[in-house]
């Protein structure tokens, strides 16, 4: 599959040549081969995209909700028509196994568009409170900065609500994984999105991302990425007092209660941690188990980890692909070594590539046992298939350790339902999943503490892209 628009940006309804910024190789992390050169934008490219979005805003934001929903439905139809192309793009740019690329990565974009459409149809755009009429309307021009680890998930759950709310936008996908973002721009064009409503500029965070965050004509920044980068976005946005919504890092706890089926809870936790090669901000990377059952838990975890098949994403038997880049590979290797050096028990996995793999940024699925909550591997977000198993003496101690983190994106509890609910209420996290439920794209997603602010998905996402106007005296 070729990507004809890799060297262009989508601005004001057209594919245009960059004004500057150079190019960067797009690497297939499974093979280390460069599959193309993506154009990197400059401040001037960001400025003209913002200008296009600003010029389009007044006309678009007065579209009726029904017309905006109809536009989203056309985008969804075009997305579905190119569903396999999206899966192939994400398999290429991320090294995701094809089954995962189709059933998780491409599906995420589809389901978020569907959820946003349903939510928009049921959304209360206006309501009366006494003599006051409350109106929810689009906030304005939005900068959407998305990550490489769930490209379509994050693009769809930002672009969809922004269009539903009547906003115009500039999208900056990750320059590391730009292929799927380019396809999404093609989908928007084919769906007839009016010129200037949706714009896309590729580029780096320090150049294009910083300009989008600081530009006075941008009314909101919606950012997904690392906490470190999120701080920089917020600082850049502060002088113009624009709204900033952020979904940042995580170090999610998974508490296995004494009432849980230990084998099911532990094996499910390994699967959750290792999904997407561990490159998910809400991955359950800290597993808390009763200390008296530590050895039993580690045996289950070891067996589950060693069933993972790492290798060529095109092999149907493969269940785990590579990490995204050499930079990420080196980071994960360093943290695995740190776990060994600090005295955690290496149960399985460890340093280096899996046996028989000599290229690509593949790592060994790794389990550490007898981890203490002060170890580096229990504190830092690893973003790889590395699970830290921590023992506890009491549920109160487990809750205390689970909350002892700067992060608060997600948490998990396994055990008898009423007990799991009681523990979930005590956890300082934006989303707590009990007994591995199905993904709920209508549940709000976002974090406490340094995991960010604001909430995404369905109506929660639409609210974030709206201003609330009060017409006092409009009549009862």
- On whether both 234 and 332 belong to a single domain, the answer is no
What pLDDT does 392 receive?
Answer: 98
pLDDT of residue 227: 94
Question: Once rounded to an integer, what is the mean pLDDT over residues 330-352?
Answer: 98
CA distance 146 to 168: 16
- Crossing angle (nearest 10°) for helices 179-190 and 65-81: 130
Q: What is the model's pLDDT at position 4?
A: 83
Question: What is the residue range of 315's domain?
Answer: 253-440
- The verdict on 213 and 121 lying in the same domain is yes
CATH number at residue 299: 3.40.309.10
* pLDDT reading at 476 higher than 70: no
User: Is 4 within a domain?
Assistant: no
Residue 76 has phi, psi (to 5 degrees) of -60, -45
Q: 121 in helix, strand or coil? A: helix
Nearest to 281 by CA among 226, 347, 362, 349: 226
Instruction: Give catalytic status of residue 466 as yes or no.
Output: no
For residue range 88-109, what is the model confidence (pLDDT) as tens digits? 999 999 999 999 999 999 999 9
Residues 155 and 55 in one domain: yes
Which of 404, 389, 319, 372 shows the shortest CA–CA distance to 99? 319
Stretch 376-385: mean pLDDT: 98
Q: What pLDDT shows up at residue 2?
A: 76
Number of separate domains in the chain = 2
Tell how many helices (H) and how many strands (E) occur in the chain.
16, 20
Shared domain check, 458 and 405: no
Is residue 244 domain-shared with residue 284, that is, in the same domain? no
Does 446 reside within a domain?
A: no
* Residue 188 in domain: yes
Interval 425-474: pLDDT, tens: 999 999 999 999 999 999 999 999 999 999 999 999 999 999 999 999 99
Cβ atoms of 419 and 259 closer than 8 Å: yes
Mark whether 206 and 293 lie in a shared domain.
no
pLDDT tens per residue across span 306-320: 999 999 999 999 999
- pLDDT bucket at 20, cuts 50 / 70 / 90: confident
Among the listed residues 247, 273, 381, 466, the single catalytic one is 247
R_g (Cα) of the chain, nearest Å: 23
- In this structure, are 233 and 320 located in the same domain? no
302 and 427 in a common domain: yes
Q: Is residue 74 part of a domain?
A: yes
**What does the DSSP assignment read for 65-113?**
HHHHHHHHHHHHHHHHHTHHHHHHHHHHHH---HHHIIIIIIHHHHHHH
Are residues 241 and 268 located together in one domain of the fold? no
Q: Are 260 and 236 contained in the same domain?
A: no
Known catalytic residue at 157 = no
How does pLDDT run across 258-269, given as a tens digit for each residue?
999 999 999 999
For residue 2, being part of any structural domain is answered with no
Burial 44-59 (b: 16+ CB within 10 A, else e): ebbbbbbbbbbebbee
267 and 135 in one domain?
no
Closest CA to 159 of 170, 147, 174: 170
Kindly report the CATH number assigned to the domain that includes residue 157: 3.40.605.10
Catalytic residue among 167, 281, 456, 466: 281
The tens digit of pLDDT for each residue in 321-333 reads 999 999 999 999 9
Residue 3's pLDDT is 86
Give the Cα separation of 402 and 269 in Å (integer): 15
Tokens standing for residue 259: 């009432």
Query: Measured between alpha carbons, how far is 96 from 98 in angstroms, rounded to an integer?
Result: 6
233 shares a domain with 151: yes
Report yes or no on 1 lying in a domain. no
Kindly state whether residue 315 falls inside one of the protein's structural domains.
Answer: yes
Specify if 206 maps to a domain.
yes
């Amino acid at each position: 599959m070729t990507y004809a628009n890799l060297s262009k940006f989508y601005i004001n309804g057209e594919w245009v040549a960059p004004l500057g910024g150079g190019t960067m190789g797009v690497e297939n992390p499974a093979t280390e081969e460069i599959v193309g050169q993506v154009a990197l934008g400059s401040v001037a490219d960001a400025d003209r995209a913002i200008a296009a979005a600003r010029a389009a805003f007044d006309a678009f934001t007065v579209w009726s909700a029904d017309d905006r929903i109809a536009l989203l439905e056309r985008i969804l139809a075009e997305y579905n028509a190119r569903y396999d192309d999206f899966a192939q793009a994400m398999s290429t740019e991320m090294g995701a196994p094809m089954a995962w690329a189709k059933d998780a990565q491409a599906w995420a974009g589809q389901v978020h568009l569907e959820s946003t459409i349903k939510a928009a149809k049921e959304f209360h755009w206006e309501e009366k409170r006494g003599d006051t009429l409350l109106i929810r309307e689009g906030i304005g021009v939005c900068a959407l900065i998305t990550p490489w680890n769930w490209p379509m998930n994050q693009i769809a759950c930002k672009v969809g609500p922004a269009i539903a709310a009547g906003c115009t936008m500039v999208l900056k996908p990750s320059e590391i994984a730009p292929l799927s973002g380019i396809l999404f721009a093609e989908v928007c064009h084919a769906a007839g999105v009016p010129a200037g409503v949706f714009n896309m500029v590729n580029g780096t965070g320090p150049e294009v991302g910083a300009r989008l965050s600081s530009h006075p004509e941008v009314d909101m920044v919606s950012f997904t990425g690392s906490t470190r980068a999120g701080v920089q976005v917020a600082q850049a946005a502060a002088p113009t007092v624009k709204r900033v919504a952020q979904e940042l890092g995580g170090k999610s706890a998974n508490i296995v209660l004494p009432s849980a089926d230990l084998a099911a809870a532990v094996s499910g936790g390994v699967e959750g941690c290792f999904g997407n090669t561990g490159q998910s901000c809400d991955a359950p990377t800290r597993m808390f188990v009763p200390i008296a059952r530590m050895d039993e838990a580690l045996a289950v975890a070891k067996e589950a980890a060693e069933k993972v098949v790492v290798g060529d994403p095109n092999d149907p038997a493969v269940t785990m692909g590579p990490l995204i880049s050499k930079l990420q590979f080196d980071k994960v290797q360093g943290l695995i070594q740190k776990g060994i050096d600090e005295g955690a028990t290496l149960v399985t996995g460890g340093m280096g590539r899996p046996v028989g793999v000599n290229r690509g940024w593949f790592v060994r699925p790794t389990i550490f046992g007898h981890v203490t909550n002060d170890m580096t591997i229990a504190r830092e977000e690893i973003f790889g298939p590395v699970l830290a198993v921590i023992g506890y003496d009491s549920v109160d101690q487990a809750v205390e350790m689970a909350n002892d983190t700067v992060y608060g994106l997600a948490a998990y509890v396994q055990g008898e339902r009423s007990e799991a609910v009681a523990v979930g209420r005590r956890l300082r996290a934006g989303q707590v999943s009990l007994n591995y439920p199905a993904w709920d794209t209508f549940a709000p997603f976002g974090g406490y503490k340094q995991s960010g602010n604001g909430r995404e998905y369905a109506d929660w996402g639409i609210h974030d892209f709206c201003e609330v106007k009060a017409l006092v005296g409009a009549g009862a």
